[in-house]
Chains A and B, each alone.
Chain A
Amino acid sequence: EVQVLESGGGLVQPGGSLRLSCAASTLDFSSSSMVWVRQAPGKGLEWVSALSSRGDDAYYADSVKGRFTVSRDNSKNTLYLQLDSLRAEDTATYYCAKCGGNCLRNYFEYWGQGTLVTVSS
């Protein structure tokens, strides 16, 4: 069974930075696009970012554009999300998901269990 495991969450001060990692135990990681989705406490799901299988096409929600950077290392089956200039409103559980091939006009095949990011002084 495919496992998707996020790590790197924690408490950070406003204006600070954090890097999240997402490791996927799947043979087809290098041919799958990946996404990040977040969920603020008690709120709904918000798509954050997507990255193509080769890492050459990245997409961001307007709310994080210019502050977050998505990347991947296919040799390590790992996706990353660099969070900079963090704000209180970025407090959320961050989920990683593997798409079934491309994400666009396709689907999220597997979700990770999430990692909590808390932005507070």
Chain B
Amino acid sequence: DIQLTQSPSFLSASVGDRVTITCRASQGISSYLAWHQQKPGKAPKVLIYAASTLQSGVPSRFSGSGSGTEFTLTISSLQPEDFATYYCQQLNSYPFTFGPGTKVDIK
């Protein structure tokens, strides 16, 4: 099975900050990586798929990059509604796996 690690696991930031989250895969997954956002008590929501494609309706301050084993999610200017937990997910092969999550909190 493909394992995903995320760093950091917790991040404290201020509104307006640039934030970067890294996801690493235990083996190459080409660009078959997605990023999901989850707010407390709510369902996840897909932000980015195919490593860098923004899902329809997602603000352009979110961006993704990477391929192979290393990927990043960047929020260019953190907004109050962006405080949440972010998960990466690989869809290269079954079983699909998720990273452990990165919680972004208010500084």
Contact = CB atoms under 8 A, between A and B. Distances in A.
A66 to B, nearest CB: 15
B95 A107 contact: no
A47 B36 CA distance: 13
B95 to A, nearest CB: 5
Nearest to B56: A109
Contacts of B45: 111
Interface string B9-47: 000000000000000000000101010101000111110
A59 B92 CA distance: 14
Size bracket, chain A contacts: 20 to 34
Contact of A50 (B34, B36, B89, B94): B94
B75 interface: no
Interface residues of B, number: 26
Contacts of B49: 100, 106-108
Nearest to A65: B95
B87 A62 contact: no
Contacts of B42: 113
Interface of A: 35, 37, 44-47, 50, 59, 61-62, 95, 100, 103-109, 111-114
